[in-house]
Amino acid sequence: MGAAMTESTHASESTTECTTTSTTTRSAPADAPVPDTRETSAPGRDLSDDTRLGLYSTMVLSRTYEEAILREYHADKGPGFDIGKGLIPGEMHLSAGQEPVAAGVCAHLTAEDAVTATHRPHHFAVAHGVDMKKMTAEIFGRTTGLGRGRGGHMHLFDPDVHFSCSGIVAEGYPPALGMAFAFKRRGTDAIAVAVAGEGAANQGAFHESLNLAALWKLPVVFIVEDNEWGISVARTASTAVSSNAVRAAGYGIPGERIEDNDVEAVYQAAGRAVERARAGEGPSLIEVATLRLWGHFEGDAQGYRTDLDDITALDPIPRYESRLREAGVLDDAAVDSARERAVTQVEEAIDFAKDSDIPDPADLMKYIFAEEER
């Protein structure tokens, strides 16, 4: 990617091919358990109240989690922001604003399905049910973490739910093909979801993955999160293609673009793609016009951005909350209940991480090779 910067407006490009939803009138009881959104609405039909509440709760949980990580990350960076200091040293890429993508896609998955996410992975990890305590311990670099504290926030691996991610841009795509190939050979109906940013869609790994998955009819759903930026490079400065969905046609697979960060439209499109993959009909690609609410990484002053003044009005969570209130699906009690549940779960995970040990430097060379005890 080059260093050029160009002005860019959110969600201004191609047209959506998706339908959205009907309205409903039932209010959720305040103390209702978190609804299980998996398989509760058939793709293409109107969403049930439970599904809509589930999408909302997943987004709230993800945002609550990242607000807590943000708080802990900045707690002790010292004067002048020393990135190597504090409870969470190193880079931090947060996904706030992109929750609709993960919530809408993962609502169709089970723990048997794989998700390969990006360097901005938390929303997909939360939505796919990665163990929050172990994930948080990993982010804090503790021995109880998913990778014994060796990977950090860009390298979260949870075999229990087939989740992985990587700091290498476009790296989410090729391993998804491997897992999909294994699922197919074993005769299961499990699928793999591969996630990349719109910047990654200009790399070779993206194109090679689409080509081979299409040729072998692999059960993969390719997701592109178009947040309009690759670090400080605007989308319009990195490609002449207005929608990555059209690139799917070059490989003979369906492609769809969802506008306006619409969680219900994502849910509907993902339902179609997941159904196609499970039925053995091959891969699909979905691009979502989403929103990077915060910086590329924490500490990013974002001087290159021209859209920050109005950005809070685009926050997808209050927008969806209003929509569900108007539809009579959410009320004050249900909102409070979703937030309280999220805060409890998140703070337990933060406490777990803080109470866990930091790895002994003498163990630095352990767990590098497969024959070592996990």
Ligand X SMILES: Cc1ncc(C[n+]2csc(CCOP(=O)(O)OP(=O)(O)O)c2C)c(N)n1
Residue nearest to Mg ion (CB): 197
Q: Which of 137/289 has CB closer to ligand X?
A: 289
Inter-residue contact 137 to 144 (CB < 8 Å)? yes
SS (H, E, C) 291-314: CCCCCCCCCCCCCCCCCCCCHHHH
Helix (H) or strand (E) holding 65: helix 49-74
- The footprint of ligand X on this chain (CB under 6 A) covers a number of residues equal to 18
Of 54-62, 112-120, 189-197, 293-301: span binding Mg ion (CB under 5 A): 189-197
Cβ 168 to ligand X shortest distance, Å: 5
Binding of ligand X by 231 (CB under 6 A): yes
Q: Which of 145/230 has CB closer to ligand X?
A: 230
Helix (H) or strand (E) holding 351: helix 332-355
Binding of Mg ion by 199 (CB under 5 A): yes
**Cα(16)–Cα(81) distance, integer angstroms:** 41
Binding mask 112-151 for ligand X (x = CB under 6 A): ------xxx-------------------------------
Q: Which of 120/305 has CB closer to ligand X?
A: 120
**Cα(167)–Cα(154) distance, integer angstroms:** 5
Cβ 33 to ligand X shortest distance, Å: 32
How many Cβ atoms are within 10 Å of 240's Cβ, its own excluded?
5
169's contact among ligand X, Mg ion, none, with CB below 5 to 8 A by partner kind, is ligand X
Inter-residue contact 142 to 357 (CB < 8 Å)? yes
Cβ 71 to ligand X shortest distance, Å: 22
> What values do phi and psi take at 231, rounded to 5?
55, -110
Binding mask 209-228 for ligand X (x = CB under 6 A): ------------------x-
Binding of Mg ion by 197 (CB under 5 A): yes
Binding of ligand X by 267 (CB under 6 A): no
Find the largest Cα–Cα distance for the chain. Answer: 60
Binding of ligand X by 200 (CB under 6 A): yes
Helix (H) or strand (E) holding 165: strand 163-165
Binding of ligand X by 5 (CB under 6 A): no
Cβ 287 to ligand X shortest distance, Å: 11
Binding of Mg ion by 227 (CB under 5 A): yes
294's contact among Mg ion, ligand X, none, with CB below 5 to 8 A by partner kind, is none
Which phi-psi region, left, alpha or beta, contains residue 228 (left: φ > 0; alpha: ψ -120 to 50)? left
| Residue 9 burial (C-beta neighbours within 10 Å; 0-12, 13-18, 19+) | exposed
SS3 of residue 55 by DSSP: helix
Residue ranges in contact with ligand X by CB under 6 A: 1, 118-120, 167-169, 196-200, 227, 229-231, 292, 296
